[in-house]
Structure 1
Amino acid sequence: MPAKESAPATPSAVKKSRKVTYADAGVNISEGDRAKERIKFLAQKTFSRNVLSDIGGFGGLFKLDGKYEQPVLVSSADGVGTKLKLAFQLGIHHTVGADLVNHCVNDIAVQGATPLFFLDYLATGRLENEVIEKVVQGLAEACKANGAALIGGETAQMPGFYADGEYDLAGFIVGVVEREKIITGKNIQNGDVLIGFPSTGLHTNGYSLARKLLFEVAGYEPGQYVPALKDKVGASLMKIHRSYLPVIRKLTAGGYTTGMAHITGGGITENLPRILPKGLAAQIELGSWPVLPLFEHLRELGEVDQDELMRTFNMGIGLIAVIPPEKYKRLKSLFDRAGEKFYQIGRIVKGERRVIYQ
């Protein structure tokens, strides 16, 4: 005899359970609202008279001053990369916000732009208000220091997508420059001098290789003091990405530079050619600036060859400016008086848009 078929379950036959909320799925709206109130308080400290909206609207409103004749908006977006892994390990979260802002500021400032406003995107699995506040505090402090308003952003709760205790961070910046003052590198000429401004460390690039060498190859702990670094490993890696805006303002105000390159991912090898006109190359003199102990130790740990180092890390130079030779002496005098360190690291030569190391 064939088995008797069971009747399909009906909604009334299904065992009822308690009501399910969004919080049961991992998204706590109430906690998110509390975090947004604190973010609002921190962001408002960065506002200028140009900000026409408050945090929480569907879009941030910013009024452009009428002092510009032909204003050009300059924008950039970036992230902090795997430096965040270190932030999770060490429980240090305020510095990565500053890293992000300063990185974005540098990217537009090398084109002559003045920062106007900044927006952030922070996504996490389980919302931890204390962590979020520290990150945003770093963002707000750096925005204030760079004269940019933190006018909005997004804090996303994505349970199951990010592990507990982890988050991702990205930023978007907008600045402005007069059209006739845009710096593109088109006026760079053969014989121009290359000067480099020191970095504080890795800044926000090369962390995947650095973490592999320091933690896997060498077996260091983040809190371990390493004589070769003259510092603890974690502290050496977490140094804040420097903002070069004060330096760049001096360079542009005096009309000293024909091109600038922010040295980020790809190192000098890949970033400097981005501003070179056709028919010109950059000749870099290795040894013309002091390489930080961190980079020397990374080279030793992995027996990393010179080409790999130069296209992975900034190697101690975070900004390169191209200076016409007739302006170099006056520029040197200006920076010497200001106590601003820089190094003459090479020259522009004939060639095809590449870096030549000597």
Structure 2
Amino acid sequence: MTSQNNAPLTYRDAGVDIDAGDALVDRIKPLAARTMRPGVLAGIGGFGALFEVPQKYREPVLVSGTDGVGTKLRLAFDWNCHDTVGIDLVAMSVNDILVQGAEPLFFLDYFACGKLSVDTAARVVGGIAKGCELAGCALIGGETAEMPGMYPEGEYDLAGFAVGAVEKSAMINGKSIRPGDVVLGLASSGAHSNGYSLLRKVVERTQAKPDQDFQGQRLSDVVMAPTRIYVKSVLQALAQHGTAIKGLAHITGGGLLENVPRILEPSLSARLHRDAWTRPALFDWMQREGGIADQEMHRVFNCGIGMVIVVDAQQADAIAATLREQGETVWALGEIVERAEGVAQTTVE
């Protein structure tokens, strides 16, 4: 069939604004420039980003991770909170590769939307750049995809990709963990980026509003607090204490109960003590208002612990002191024990 309207079409008529995309790139370049580090050979603007593995590594092993922000984005849309979800995006990947001892080297992002809002996208990418600064890695590339008809107006999706390096002899795999080792926990900044489908159910049930007071803060500031990035403090601890740090677990989806076992041999169990750390008020509120069982809380949310570190008992105090010097809040959560038949690999007692 032939159209009755023979007016010439443009990409803008189809819903894609090339000029807006160019404007966004111009806004991104100075943000990315602040994240540059030795090793970057070519960054934003080329077809591919180039990075040279630092010469300090004798046998470098590249470690990669990818993730998104999940349904936390739903609240970002509804509450107009776009400035920190980029930090969440970076944190999810760099904290993941950190647990194997890797130093994040560079990061790339993917931002997809139906109609590009330069201001919103710049706020999001500003958060990504901030996250890269906190992690010490370079934002060297990414993709902005404007796809009309694929996303409702005002909404977008995010994905991130981090690459790091670790000396082959210094990789952390949990193989040296033994009964009697101490389990340390680093405080989270809140719910981070996991469990938000359940969190949003609690918000819906209570009809909570983003600007309502929550213990002296806006609820939106508490709920949307960006994921803590542990890279610099943990790398410093690794540099000072080496093999005394035996295992690391990033507490993401699956909470404490499903992430800690990922670094344990089947014969071992981590016994955590529920009174060993102070749980943030956000989790108390969610559990009370949602009627959520303890077991469910511990396997959905981080419950105030964003990173678990298994260490040699004789070095536990010294390692905790180093982490505190780096600005972390540290708790001794429990210990590693022989796993009895029928007992879960992580228990909170």
TM-score normalized with structure 2 length: 0.94
2:4 corresponds to 1:18: no
Determine the structure 2 residue equivalent to 1:178.
167
Distance 1:144 1:138 in 2: 10
Distance 2:299 2:144 in 1: 33
Instruction: For residue 52 of structure 1, give the secondary structure of its aligned residue in structure 2.
Output: strand
Determine the structure 1 residue equivalent to 2:337.
349
Distance 1:336 1:35 in 2: 39
Structure 1 vs Structure 2 CA RMSD = 1.6
Distance 2:347 2:81 in 1: 39
- Per-residue CA shift, 1:326-352, capped at 9, x if unaligned? 112333444455564211111101117
Query: Of the candidates 196, 208, 221, which is equivalent to residue 197 of structure 2?
Result: 208
Distance 1:104 1:61 in 2: 19
Distance 1:287 1:308 in 2: 18
Instruction: For residue 149 of structure 2, give the secondary structure of its aligned residue in structure 1.
Output: coil
Determine the structure 2 residue equivalent to 1:321.
309
Question: What code does the residue aligned with 2:225 have?
Answer: K
How many residues were matched structurally? 344
Determine the structure 2 residue equivalent to 1:236.
222
Instruction: For residue 111 of structure 1, give the secondary structure of its aligned residue in structure 2.
Output: coil
Contact in 2 for aligned 1:277/1:353 (Cα 8 Å): no
Question: What code does the residue aligned with 1:357 have?
Answer: V
Range that drifts further, 76-85 or 346-355: 346-355
Question: What code does the residue aligned with 1:302 have?
Answer: G
TM-aligned CA distance change 1:31 to 1:293, over 3 Å: same
Determine the structure 2 residue equivalent to 1:4.
none
Question: What code does the residue aligned with 2:276 have?
Answer: S
Q: CA deviation at 1:205?
A: 0.6
Distance 1:181 1:134 in 2: 37
Query: Of the candidates 86, 104, 120, which is equivalent to residue 115 of structure 1?
Result: 104
Determine the structure 2 residue equivalent to 1:5.
none
Contact in 1 for aligned 2:38/2:54 (Cα 8 Å): no
- Per-residue CA shift, 1:46-72, capped at 9, x if unaligned? 222311113121111001122211100
Question: What code does the residue aligned with 1:76 have?
Answer: G
Determine the structure 2 residue equivalent to 1:105.
94
2:233 corresponds to 1:252: no
Q: CA deviation at 1:83?
A: 1.1
Instruction: For residue 299 of structure 1, give the secondary structure of its aligned residue in structure 2.
Output: helix
Range that drifts further, 90-99 or 126-135: 90-99
Range that drifts further, 102-111 or 119-128: 102-111
Query: Of the candidates 73, 87, 102, which is equivalent to residue 76 of structure 2?
Result: 87
- Per-residue CA shift, 1:116-142, capped at 9, x if unaligned? 000000001110001111111111122
Instruction: For residue 85 of structure 1, give the secondary structure of its aligned residue in structure 2.
Output: helix
Determine the structure 1 residue equivalent to 2:209.
221
- Per-residue CA shift, 1:230-283, capped at 9, x if unaligned? 432211111110011132123211123100101011100110000002311111
Q: CA deviation at 1:92?
A: 2.1
TM-aligned CA distance change 1:57 to 1:335, over 3 Å: closer
Q: How does 1:1-358 map to 2 (within 5 A)?
A: 11=2, 15-214=4-203, 216-227=204-215, 230-253=216-239, 254-255=241-242, 256-335=244-323, 340-351=328-339, 354-358=345-349
Distance 1:235 1:333 in 2: 29
Contact in 2 for aligned 1:124/1:156 (Cα 8 Å): yes
Distance 1:267 1:43 in 2: 32
Q: CA deviation at 1:207?
A: 0.9
TM-aligned CA distance change 1:22 to 1:336, over 3 Å: closer
Distance 1:212 1:62 in 2: 43
TM-aligned CA distance change 1:54 to 1:88, over 3 Å: same
Instruction: For residue 245 of structure 2, give the secondary structure of its aligned residue in structure 1.
Output: coil
Contact in 1 for aligned 2:234/2:323 (Cα 8 Å): no
Question: What code does the residue aligned with 1:124 have?
Answer: C
TM-score normalized with structure 1 length: 0.92
Contact in 1 for aligned 2:255/2:302 (Cα 8 Å): yes
Larger Rg: 1
Question: What code does the residue aligned with 2:62 have?
Answer: L
Uncovered stretches (5+) of structure 2, i.e. residues with no partner: none
Distance 1:38 1:333 in 2: 41
